[in-house]
Amino acid sequence: MLRKSLLTAIAALVISACTTSPTGRSQFIFMPDNQVDQMGLQAFSSMKSKNPLSQNPRYNQFAQCVTYSLTREVGGQWEVVVFEDESLNAFALPGNKIGVHSGLINLVDNQDQLAAVIGHEIGHVLSRHSNERLSQETAVSTGLSMVQAVTQPQTALGQTALGLLGVGAEYGVILPYSRIHETEADTIGLDLMARAGFEPRQSINLWLKMDKAAQGGQPIEFMSTHPSHASRIDNLNQRMNQALQLRQQALNMGKQPRCAK
């Protein structure tokens, strides 16, 4: 009887935790979003206190201009910080926090290429990928200790929790997003940058530049924590016509970002 009651309770939890992502994919999410947001805020605060921030006003203005052009399309209050770090990386955390490395700003040629990366990262947040991964991890292994662990990044469990949030490499732990999450973030990011008036075809140039930099031996944290598959560009190209239509609609509405690098 007890076993039957337990199975019933578990089934009820699974059913109640089923939700739908922005692309229509079924997700298993049961952690409260405000709890996951708080974990993101804690992680971001810790990163700002332990890693050097860029004092370059041009870098900061560029990153802010691109980010705010994108986030106007999704609403909410977002914070973007440029970290003084030559690795090619950017990330977004629950709680609407975005980090961009100075090395990435040096790499990109224009506002559209930076928008491709930041739009992709915002896509992870909008799809609640951190919550999905934390929910799965909590459900199968460590219970609520995962929630508490984010306040102790020096511990092994704390590093795992931060990796699940999407920080990972900052603490020596890399937990890549799945191929499904990556494709979803690519799709959302491409549409988002187009709706904001950025040139979506520059996303292809961005990934080509990333690949070229990797072949040259330059460390690319973004590519290591976000696996690049041969199908990525193909997937983007398959959606490009729709993205170009979205961009034309944006231009017709007067949305023309002018973010100078």
Which residues belong to the active site? 121
Closest to 104 measured CA to CA, from 213, 228, 25: 213
Closest to 256 measured CA to CA, from 216, 210, 213, 196: 196
Token pair, residue 257, equals 């970002």
Residue 174 and residue 192: Cα distance in Å, rounded? 26
Q: How many CB atoms lie within 10 A of CB 2?
A: 6
Could you tell me if 103 and 88 are in contact, meaning their C-beta atoms sit under 8 angstroms apart? yes
Q: What residues form DSSP beta bridges with 27?
A: 19
Closest to 226 measured CA to CA, from 54, 87, 18: 87
Residue 90 and residue 81: Cα distance in Å, rounded? 10
Residues 6+ apart with CB under 8 A from 250: 194, 195, 196, 197
Could you tell me if 52 and 64 are in contact, meaning their C-beta atoms sit under 8 angstroms apart? no
Token pair, residue 110, equals 């224009």
**Residue 155: exposure state from Cβ atoms within 10 A (0-12, 13-18, ≥19):** exposed
Helix and strand numbers (H, E) in the chain are 12, 5
